[in-house]
Amino acid sequence: MRLEDILFSQGFGTRRVCAGLVQQGFVVIAGQVCEDPGEFFQPEGLRFAVQGMDWPYAERAYLMLHKPAGTECSQKPSTWPSIYTFLPGPLRTRPQKAAVQGVQAVGRLDQDTTGLLLLTDDGKFIHRMSSPKHHVPKVYEVTVKHELTVDQVERLLAGVVLDDDPKPVKAAACEAVTPLHLRLTLTEGKYHQVKRMVAAVGNRVEGLHRSAIGSLILPEDLLPGQWRWLSAADLALMSASKA
């Protein structure tokens, strides 16, 4: 693939802009400055630097982000800062692929909810991970206002009725880690589902954190606001993530 096309595919600008980056000596591969936009490279496994920013070639972008509180999962936030401000420009401006422009969040977390968030420009991956038909489990660490009871845990496992659906909604797993810490696993994603389920059994959510999606656990060393590429091993865990 031509070098300017590689840069374009990764979101570094129009082809003209990408050609200019190369011609101005801003692109380095294997320690060597490249100045020919038309030079051919094998893209798979290629690493390069653009204006000092190291970059691995990725045909599709798959990321994890530790979402901090006080942020919105929206490209056009209304009140709080957008989670997309944590990402470098190329990830936000990757060319459109299968109706996906740049990377998009796989589902959403409320502004006050923290934890693991996946992002990608792969439309099929978004559908597979967010569709309730695929039953991908998501684990939430819930801080509640009142001490948990055995009855509350049992009711969450058995199913509670929410006001927008007469069909009971139940947790795939539920345990009281401490009197005020509930670990709840869900396989669907209704609006404010955790908060509404907890309210339905007579308690109240004071803090909400998503710690895992399927078999993928939020790394302890990924701090709020930080992101990283999903590895091949991470993606394998995602492929096996079904309840």
| Residue 220: partners with Cβ closer than 8 Å, 6 or more residues away | none
pLDDT at 198 over 90: yes
Model pTM? 0.92
Q: Per the structure block, which two tokens stand in for 200?
A: 């339905």
Please give the sequence-ordered ranges of beta strands (E in DSSP) within 128-172, or none if there are none.
138-144, 160-162, 165-169
pLDDT at 242 over 70: no
What pLDDT does residue 98 have? 64
| Residue 157: partners with Cβ closer than 8 Å, 6 or more residues away | 170, 171, 173, 174
Number of folded domains in the chain?
A: 3
| Residue 13: partners with Cβ closer than 8 Å, 6 or more residues away | 7, 21, 93
Phi-psi sector, 30: left (phi>0), alpha (psi -120 to 50), beta: left
pLDDT at 22 over 80: yes
Same domain, residue pair 190 and 220: no
- Tally the C-alpha atoms within 13 A of residue 20's C-alpha that lie toward its C-beta: 6
Same domain, residue pair 221 and 129: yes
pLDDT single digits (tens) 202-228: 999 999 999 999 999 999 999 999 999
Residue 221's CATH number: 3.30.70.580
Same domain, residue pair 119 and 221: yes
Whether 209 and 69 have beta carbons less than 8 Å apart is answered as no
pLDDT single digits (tens) 135-149: 889 999 999 999 999
Same domain, residue pair 147 and 163: yes
Q: Per the structure block, which two tokens stand in for 138?
A: 């998501």
Per annotation, catalytic residue among 5, 36, 110, 221: 110
Q: Sign (positive/negative) of CA torsion 164, 136, 99, 80? A: positive
Same domain, residue pair 119 and 235: yes
Q: Report how far Cα 42 is from the mean position of its chain's Cα atoms.
A: 28
Same domain, residue pair 38 and 147: no
Same domain, residue pair 205 and 226: no
Whether 9 and 91 have beta carbons less than 8 Å apart is answered as no
Map tokens 């972008």 to a residue: 61
The whole-angstrom separation of Cα 6 and Cα 9 is: 5
Residue 149: give the domain boundaries.
137-213
Has 110 been annotated as catalytic? Answer: yes
Q: What is the mean pLDDT of residues 230-235?
A: 91
What band does 128 get if pLDDT is binned at 50, 70 and 90? confident
pLDDT at 129 over 70: yes
> 10, 12, 57, 2: which is closest to 34 by C-alpha?
2
